[in-house]
């Protein structure tokens, strides 16, 4: 038994809910971002996948809407310690968007309107693990939560699920993104509590 905080009991334990280490449950949807919320008009919105050999695949908003959609229900884990369970989204699987993309790159740098970036291995985007989502809880995704569309990669801490997503650059080398450069973990698995560099 290690350190004990004198007199601390904590909330009643809900044995039915298993959370990653150090996380606590919330029922609202907190917002976290490093700067102002960008507003992207839909007629100028575009999503791109740039391959390592310089080819770019682009989708307009209409083209994204025309793709088959999925409605994942997933748990969210934010590095600031809150977890929100059973959230309902609608969007397009990255498997669908990658269907015609020829690439052998292992690393992805996701970039957003407003300049945010985050990095992750390409394999974490594929096989039903990630989506470009545009609805939350049956409503259009609010700008403060990343609308019109954000990446959703729920098996990693939420900063990897880039808000206001604009594109994904595929690369042969790993390139750290915004928070990853500022001392946060390069991969960010909540179940291994990879919050910061060295965790």
Chain contacts with another protein (rule: CB under 8 A): 1-11, 13, 22, 24, 26-28, 30-38, 80-82, 114-115, 144, 178-179, 181-183, 195-199
8 versus 102: smaller Cβ distance to another protein:
8
CB of 165 closer than 8 Å to CB of 110:
yes
The DSSP call for residue 13 is: P
Q: How far is the CB of 190 from another protein (least distance, A)?
A: 12
DSSP H/E element including 191: none
Q: How far is the CB of 11 from another protein (least distance, A)?
A: 5
Q: How far is the CB of 52 from another protein (least distance, A)?
A: 27
26 versus 101: smaller Cβ distance to another protein:
26
Q: How far is the CB of 57 from another protein (least distance, A)?
A: 27
Sheet holding 117-121, edge to edge: 56-60, 46-50, 165-171, 107-112, 117-121
In three-state secondary structure terms, 64 is helix
27 versus 68: smaller Cβ distance to another protein:
27
Q: How far is the CB of 165 from another protein (least distance, A)?
A: 17
CB of 87 closer than 8 Å to CB of 152:
no
d(CA 32, CA 158): 10
Residues near 53 by beta carbon (within 8 Å), at least 6 away in sequence: none
95 versus 174: smaller Cβ distance to another protein:
174
31 versus 65: smaller Cβ distance to another protein:
31
């Amino acid at each position: 038994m290690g350190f004990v905080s004198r007199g601390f009991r904590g909330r009643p334990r809900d044995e039915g809910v298993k959370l990653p280490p150090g996380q606590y449950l919330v029922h609202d949807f907190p917002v976290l971002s490093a700067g102002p919320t960008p507003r992207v008009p839909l007629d100028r919105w575009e999503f791109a996948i740039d391959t390592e050999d310089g080819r770019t695949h682009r989708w307009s908003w209409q083209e994204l809407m025309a793709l088959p959609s999925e409605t994942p229900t997933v748990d969210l884990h934010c590095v600031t310690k809150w977890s929100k369970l059973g959230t309902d989204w609608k969007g397009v699987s990255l498997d669908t968007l990658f269907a015609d993309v020829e690439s052998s790159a292992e690393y992805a740098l996701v970039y957003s309107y407003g300049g945010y970036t985050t990095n992750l291995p390409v394999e974490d985007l594929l096989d039903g693990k990630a989506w470009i989502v545009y609805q939350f809880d049956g409503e259009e995704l609010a700008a403060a939560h990343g609308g019109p569309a954000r990446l959703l990669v729920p098996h990693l801490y939420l900063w990897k699920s880039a808000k206001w997503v604009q594109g994904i650059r595929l690369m042969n080398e790993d390139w750290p993104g915004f928070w990853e450069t500022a001392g946060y973990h390069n991969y960010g698995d909540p179940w291994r509590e990879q919050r910061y560099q060295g965790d």
